[in-house]
Every structure is written in structure tokens, then in C-alpha cells.
A and B are shown apart, each in its own frame.
Chain A
Amino acid sequence: MSFGSRIRNALGASAPTVLLVAGMAAAQAQSAASPERLELCATCHGPGGNSKTEKIPSLAGQPEFFLLNSLVLIREGVRKVEPMEPFMKDMKDDEIQALATYFAAQKPERTDEPIDRAQAQRGAQLADPRHCTSCHKPDLSGEQTAPRLAGQRADYILDALRAYRDNTRLGGDPAMSSAAQGLSDADIVALANYAASK
């Protein structure tokens, strides 16, 4: 966390930039994401937001609201993503909105990691009573606050689930922390294989 006076977009946000109402109708981004910025994102998240790098999530085809919310939380330092800190720190709401719009519109590819079918099957059985699909959709393509899991990197999903279970991933909807309570490390491996395989 950090402390210090920042007048920043406390007031600035009321400038006529972006509005998200209860319905979460896709907000009109007034500016498009700049090519330099997108190139920077691609160095870690892969071209078009399809990651080939261990433990770095794909962004392509994620729900716009999830991307917007995650980027704001990363900027605020609620969700700690150190490698992104230098350029996120002072990013304006408009640009965040433009990046969210861009990556939501990219075509998701599936991860190139090997998937263990037996693990994936066990994962499906674990997922059923926990109802992962009620929030992440039956095809795990995600919706609103709930990210796409289908085709996401399994090594990243594994880390994310551990962080939710241990209450160390902060900022997002606490419903996900509840969904991960009581999972063993072995369960998490199975669920990661299952989700990535969809």
C-alpha cells in the first residue's frame, strides 16, 4: 500500500471520460490504445495478448470489465504486479479503458502448455459442485467481473488459485476467494489443467 496525497483522478475522474453504469454497457473509449503501449504489453503478454511466457496471463478475449477493473487495481497497488508498476502508476482512466477495450476484442488462442487429461478430468469433477461455470460461464469464456479461464495458461491459473485461497490476491470480488476456500494444492493442479483445457 502507499500513503500520500494525490489529488489525481479523485476529481479528474469526473471529467467527461468514461461512464460505467450498473448495466456495464461497454463504455465508449474516447481514445484508442497507442501502438507503443501495446508493444510494451506484448513483450510480456504476447502478441495480441496471447501469452507464451510462463506465469504471465493471456489477455486476449478477456471480459472488458475484468480487464478494466484489474488494470485499475494494479495501478492503485491493491493488486501487486511489480513488473507493471513503472508504467501503470500514473496511467489515466481513459488509457486504461482503451487498453481494456483493445484486449477484450482480441482473438484468444489456447495455451501451448501440455495438459494432463486425467488431471483435467479430476478438475472437472471438483469444479462441478463449486460451480465455477456459474460465474465463468459454461465454456469458461468469462463474463463481466469473472475472467476467461478457457485456454488461459495453466501455470498462471495455478498461481492465481493459490493466491485466492490464501487471501493474498486482493482487490477483486471476494466471491472468488470464497470459491477457492478449502482447495488443496493437488485440487488446484487439477483445476488448472481443467480450466486451461476448455
Chain B
Amino acid sequence: MLMSAMHFRFAALLAAGLVMAPGIASAQQPAVPDVAKQAERSKQSPNLRGVPISPIAAGADKLPISRFKLPPGFSVEVWQAGIAGARTMLLGPKGTMFVGTQGLGRVYAIVTRDGKHEVKTIAHGLNMPNGLAMKDGALIVVANKNVYRFDNIEDNLDNPKPVDISEKFNLPGDRSHGWRYVAFGPDGKLYIPVGAPCNICEPNYNTHSHIRRYDADGANMEIIAKGVRNTVGFDWHPVTGELWFTDNGRDWAGNEGPEDEFNRLPKGKEGAFFGFPYCHANGIADPDIKRPDACKDVILPAVTTGPHSASLGVHWYTGDMFPAEYKNAAFIARRGSWNRDRKFGSDLAVVRVAGNGMGKATLTPFMTGLLDEQRNEHMVRLVLPYQMPDGSLLVSDEQNGAIYRITYKSQRAAVTQH
């Protein structure tokens, strides 16, 4: 059927150089980047490229967990292996852990019965279903330009019925930076970022390069932060209620940066400008796209998070299990670089903010040992830290298709136990 229906005379058309029916040109058409020239200027190997993510999960016995390093008193275990492409996590009120993926297109549900996990695939074939949010028992899955609502999902895991509510959200369908982290804010609104459709270009801020929010049903869209290149993680500060988000710096402008960002959107500054494409990191003007006073009226990051580190998921820790110094600190998963000759990032970092979330922010690596320095290879690609009700911290590893669990026991207690 396919072949007979499509018996065009392609060879002849190609030879004659004829043009096929006009395609639907994409709305955004960034200028063609000359990677070779950019790489020469930035003194980077032009052959740098994304690190492949296996579509098949690693076996539990193959996870490099014994190489992870944590501060004293903390330990890490495998919470669940065998979930290929695991990225976003979201715990339902009835205890189901939902897990979203990117390229693999699956959404998983992990239920715990008699202390054992059962993993179900509740949706597959989706276009980068990285965005998961939950309201009134309904799971919302944001997959590029599509938005699905699964009502009463935790009672229907074996028969999930999506309602397609994409139309109201009217999201762009670019694949470039087209995977979205989403979340409901304390205001009950659904926050959805739309990245720049390019590495570096002048986007239309009405459609791209921003964070927007909607009512749960897709009404009343508002843009609340502009000039954002690509955020794949945000969370609201537990004391101030302000939105903090990561943003990934541009590629092909050097091994040392511009660094990724952890930004704070101050209360009352909704709609503020964060600099892309003119001003990066802590005030670096772009070498390609120039304007006078590149960093004028730009909110600079609260803290930069390292060159090409791919700072993704964020979670403010509010639990009681970890020592007091972690209370109201943010954990950030740094997935690790690709556009850098020596690989960088690949850890779980912690950001502490002075003055109850209003003062200076400082970043410290927390869980390391994820990068094989000798082979210049990431062994693990972390995406999101996620606090459990008992105060332990889960973190997803997309590369190996696993979720790890970090716990803390004061050393004194550990010693007396032995």
C-alpha cells in the first residue's frame, strides 16, 4: 500500500532538480549557523555533539552507583531501575509515581504494592512527554505542542483515558528546545516554558523564548519571563514563593561559557527580561547578536551554574530528614555538558540562598563521581531531583533509565548502630 500509493517519479524529479510541492515552512527561520566558523572562533572542536541516550535501560546490576560520592552521612541506593529514558517525576496524592521521558515518548506509572514497585507504561508514542503536572486527581502531560489530561488517573492506571486539550494551549511545535518541564504554581496556574527555537537567534518573544502560565484549562495565557533560552526546571521558593528557574547557556561560544543560570523572578516583576539572546550569564554580551547596552534592563542570574553544565531540574528541599543546612536550599540536577571539549557538570548540586531567599546564592556540588574524567564520559545523566514525603530525595538518571534515592542518617546515629 505504501509503495504503490507513493509511486512518484522521484529519480526523474531529482535529476531535473524539480521542487516538490511547497512544504509548510516553519514560522521561525533562524539564520543558518555556520558551526565550523563559530567553532573556529570559539576554539572548540567542531565535532562536539550531543551525547546519545540509550533507548534501552541498563540492568540494576550495571548502574555505576558505587562510584557516586556524597557528603558524610548521606547514602544513595537504586529506587527503581529498568525505566528507559526516565526524566520528570511526579508523585500523585494516592502514591503513584509518574515518570516522563523525552525522545522515547513514554509516560510510566510506578505503583507500590506490599513494598514492591510495579512499573506500567500508561502512554507511549508521544512527542517528548517531559512535562507532567497534577491537579484535582488529573494528570496533565505536556508533550511538545500537545497537552493531554488524564482525569482521575490513579484509579485508571490500567485503562488511562486522555482528553486532548492541546488546542486551548496553542503551543509551538518546534523540536528544537521543544521538550518542556511544566508545573502548577502556588497560584494554581500551569507554568509552561517555550524555549528559543535555535542555539542563538532573535526570537519572537510573543511565541518563544519565555515562560508562560495558564489557568488549568488553558485559558488566560500570560508571559511571565522573557529572554529565556531554554529552562528545563523550576520551582517556587518555600519562604518567598518566588519562581526560580534554570536556564541553559548558548553553545559554540567557547568551552568556558557562557555559563548556565539559576534565575530568580522577583515578586511583582512578572514579564521581566532575562537577556537572551543579547546578554548571557552574569553579564556577557553575545558575540553574534549584538545590541547597544547588551545587558541593560536584564535580570542577571542569582547564581551561574557552570559552563555547558546543562542545569535542568530544580527542587527546593523542605524535608526534615536532611541536616538543617539543607532546609530551603535548592537541589539542581546538572545533566552534564556536550558542547565542551572537557566534559563538565554531571552532578547534583545544592544552592543555598542567604536572607530567606532574598540574599546571595552560592552553589556547591553535592553528589559527584558521575563523570568518568579519564574517559571524558558521563556515566549518568541526571534530570530532576524530587523530594519524597519522608524527606528522602529521588533523582532521575535518563542515561541508564533509573531513579536513585538519597537518604541521610546522622553519623553519630550510624556509629551507635554498629
Contact = CB atoms under 8 A, between A and B. Distances in A.
Interface stretch (B180-188, B284-292, B373-381): B373-381
A78 B129 CA distance: 11
Given A1-B125, A78-B125, A93 B56 contact: yes
A174 B128 CA distance: 10
B15 A145 contact: no
Contacts of A181: 26, 28-30, 176, 197-198
Interface string B368-395: 0000100101110000000000000000
B121 interface: yes
Interface in A131-169: 131, 134-135, 144-146, 154-155, 158, 162, 165-167
B415 to A, nearest CB: 35
B49 A134 contact: yes
Given A69-B55, A78-B126, A21 B379 contact: yes
A83 B3 CA distance: 9
Q: How large is the interface on A (under 10, 10 to 19, 20 to 34, 35 or more residues)?
A: 35 or more
B160 interface: yes
Nearest to B375: A23
B105 A116 contact: no
Interface in A44-77: 44, 53-56, 65, 68-69, 72-73, 76-77
B289 to A, nearest CB: 16
Contacts of B159: 4-5
Given A24-B52, A134-B49, A155-B11, A3 B122 contact: yes
Contact of B124 (A6, A118, A184): A6
Contact of B175 (A2, A177, A185): A177
B36 A167 contact: no
A156 to B, nearest CB: 9
B198 A131 contact: no
Given A82-B2, A134-B36, A172 B60 contact: no
A100 to B, nearest CB: 11
Interface stretch (B79-87, B205-213, B258-266, B301-309): B79-87
B3 A173 contact: no
Given A129-B32, A144-B52, A10 B103 contact: no
B138 interface: no
B16 interface: yes
B7 A68 contact: no
B82 A155 contact: no
B251 to A, nearest CB: 10
B118 interface: yes
A3 B160 contact: yes
A93 B60 CA distance: 16
Q: Chain B at the A interface: mostly helix, strand, loop or mixed? A: loop
Given A68-B56, A134-B46, A182-B30, A171 B103 contact: yes
Contacts of A55: 3, 6, 10
Nearest to A186: B19
Contact of B49 (A1, A7, A135): A135
A32 interface: no
Interface in B323-379: 372, 375, 377-379
Contact of B120 (A6, A93, A178): A6
Contact of A3 (B52, B123, B174): B123
B14 interface: yes
Nearest to B156: A5
B218 interface: no
Contacts of B239: none
B407 interface: no
Given A54-B6, A116-B16, A73 B55 contact: yes
Given A131-B46, A181-B176, A145 B52 contact: yes
Nearest to B177: A174
Contacts of B6: 54-55
A106 interface: no
B20 A192 contact: no
B82 A54 contact: no
Interface in A18-56: 18-24, 44, 53-56
Given A6-B120, A171-B105, A172-B103, A162 B176 contact: no
A99 interface: no
A170 B197 CA distance: 16
A19 B400 CA distance: 9
B379 A72 contact: no
Contacts of A53: 3
A134 B378 CA distance: 21
B290 to A, nearest CB: 20
B399 A22 contact: yes
A114 interface: yes
B219 interface: no
A167 B26 contact: yes
A173 B103 contact: yes
Given A54-B8, A174-B178, A14 B105 contact: no
A158 B272 CA distance: 42
A22 B103 contact: no
Contacts of A177: 174-176
Given A83-B2, A174-B176, A65 B52 contact: yes
Contact of B14 (A73, A113, A182): A113
The 6 closest A-B CB pairs, nearest first, are: A14-B82, A77-B125, A155-B10, A1-B125, A20-B54, A78-B105
7 contacts: A7-B119, A11-B82, A76-B104, A113-B10, A116-B17, A186-B17, A189-B13
Given A11-B82, A24-B54, A55-B3, 7 more contacts: A4-B122, A24-B52, A54-B8, A68-B55, A78-B105, A119-B14, A177-B176
